[in-house]
Amino acid sequence: MIKLTETVKHIVLINVIFFIASITLADTTLFNKWMVMYYPLNTDFHLWQVVTHLFMHLDFMHLLSNMLLLVFIGTLLEKAIGKNKFLILYFSAGLGAVILSVLVDYIQIELALNTLSNSGFNKLDVMSTLTNGKYSPAWESVLTESSFKNLVSNFNKISLGASGAVMGVIVATAVLFPNVEFVLMFPPIPVKLKYLVMFYVGGDVMSVILTGTPLLASTNIGHMAHIGGAITGFIIMWYWKKRLI
């Protein structure tokens, strides 16, 4: 039986509390709107969402999958590096996930806005329309299908979940203990952590390359956030491990 470390236990507890609140409060719509993360130029964005969205989940299975990974792998990492470093790595990975995801969205949105601007559309008017949650069908005649989709969906999409932070924890653990084995649920066979990381991260990378086509899950999965968390977790743990040698 796994004995939960203090930090992992509290992170899991906070996530569970947030999930219960998101489905039971009298005004769940307002709570969810305030706690998930919007694109920074969207009027619904608030600075605290950079942190609170890490504790929000789409549904029970989304919560369960993230928390199980955190319990089985995060506990091992916290025992190895301690509470303070674990917290630094966890939230840094979450921030890294946000930065990469928002950066990619920003580039795609700016490319579309510049195309519209060069075609005679007023950039501020376009931004104002997007801010109101609307779009003009006239944009479709100027933009490619993918550019139009990126402009509208990225500006109004929401981000939520601990996946980026958890991915950072998984990758960091693999840097420290690449050959530690975990028994899969389906099929019940032992697999080294380094191979699990290759599978998870490789799936996200391939999904991004294939224009967002999901290999491991549905299209609402934030593959760029996963990659951002993984890169952050790797860099931090590589640096810490190097200093210890």
In a domain, 94, yes or no: yes
What was the pLDDT predicted at 219?
56
Question: With pLDDT > 90 as the criterion, what percentage of the chain qualifies?
Answer: 64
Residue 23 pLDDT > 50: yes
161: left (phi over 0), alpha (psi -120 to 50) or beta: left
Confidence of residue 77 (pLDDT cuts 50, 70, 90): very high
Q: Answer whether residue 137 shows pLDDT above 70.
A: yes
Please name the residue ranges forming H helices in the chain: 6-24, 28-35, 49-52, 60-69, 75-81, 83-118, 123-131, 145-156, 163-176, 193-209, 223-244
What confidence score (pLDDT) does residue 28 get? Answer: 85
Condensed to tens digits (0 to 9), the pLDDT of residues 81-93 reads: 999 999 999 999 9
Distance CA(25)–CA(20), nearest Å, equals 8
Angle (nearest 5°) at CA 208 between 91 and 36 = 40
Q: Does residue 18 belong to any structural domain of this protein? A: yes
pLDDT of residue 242: 85
The answer, yes or no, to whether residue 3 has pLDDT greater than 80, is yes
Domain-located, residue 84: yes
Q: Taking all residues of the chain, what is their mean pLDDT, rounded to a whole number?
A: 89
**Confidence grade of residue 200 (pLDDT, cut at 50, 70, 90):** confident
What CATH number is associated with residue 126? 1.20.1540.10
Q: How many domains does the chain have?
A: 1
pLDDT the model gives residue 16: 97
Report pLDDT for 99: 95
Q: What is the pLDDT of residues 202-229, one digit of tens each?
A: 888 887 777 555 554 445 678 899 999 9
Give the pLDDT band (50/70/90) at residue 63.
very high
Q: What backbone phi and psi angles, to 5 degrees, belong to 181?
A: -105, 140
Residue 1 lies in a domain: no
Residue 159 pLDDT > 70: yes
Q: Which domain holds residue 131?
A: 6-244
| Cβ atoms 232, 168 nearer than 8 A | yes
Crossing angle (nearest 10°) for helices 83-118 and 145-156 = 130
